[in-house]
Amino acid sequence: MTRRLAALALLALAACSTTEIAGEFPSSPLVGPDAARGAPVVASLPATGASGVFRPAGRNGDVTSWRAADGSGFATDRGVLVTTFGLGHDLYAADVSRLVAILTAGRSGTVRRVHRMLDGENNVTAESWDCDVRVSATRDSPSAGGRVRDVTEACEGPGGAFENTYLWSVSGDRAVRSEQFVSREVGMLRIAPPAPVATAIVPVAIGQ
């Protein structure tokens, strides 16, 4: 019996650690890293404490794609999260055009937000959230470099609720700091400009 258990343990161990070293000849050509363009942001997951530095990797219309050195990424429409990558339970796509219009206009209101997710069988599922958006009076923020508004977006939907918060730069016409819902499993994603000291010390990704 002991031998059997030892064999089982061995089986599990060997199976879990099976890693091949692979190669090819001629080897694939390599691409150099793209030159970084634009200011980075620090994104973090309050639920796990993990954080990383993300740089702009592309722009399509009003949407900016952000990528970290570890291959993770997300995209924002004027600072509002529209998709995430590599989190396991990602936000596949968010319909935020109404919200962005409200933020730009600087008026409180209600919006319906539709979140799409990919399930374990590659089906795209959608759920809608009804959100109450409250926009504060415009104030000065030296750290954000100009006039800003504080915005809360309280959403209720299928079996739950969440509250997103944004610091909206009036001059920049985008959210410069925010905490936004990704999914039930992942929780919130916090996006902020890097602290000056932090960027000086850790220029690339910060380990989790």
* Contacts of other proteins in 99-118 (CB under 8 A): 114, 116, 118
The residues in 153-192 that bind other proteins, with binding defined as CB under 8 A, are 185
Count of residues binding other proteins (CB under 8 A)? Answer: 74
Least CB distance to other proteins at residue 169 (A): 21
**193 with 41: CB under 8 angstroms?**
yes
The residues in 66-105 that bind other proteins, with binding defined as CB under 8 A, are 67-75, 77, 82-83, 85-90, 92-95
Dihedral pair phi/psi, residue 104, rounded to 5° = -65, -40
Which position has the token pair 């992942």? 186
Q: In Å, what is the CA distance from 101 to each residue of 20, 91, 156, 169, 204?
A: 51, 21, 20, 14, 33
- CA–CA gap between residue 144 and residue 139 (Å, rounded): 11
Comparison of 48 and 108: residue with beta carbon closer to other proteins: 48
The residues in 19-58 that bind other proteins, with binding defined as CB under 8 A, are 19-26, 28-31, 43-45, 48, 50-52, 57-58
- Work out whether 65 is an interface residue with other proteins (CB under 8 A): yes
Out of 2, 122, 143, 158, name the contact with other proteins by CB under 8 A.
Answer: 122
Residues β-bridged to residue 154: 132, 163
Least CB distance to other proteins at residue 37 (A): 9
Q: List the end-to-end C-alpha distance of the chain, in Å, as a whole number.
A: 42
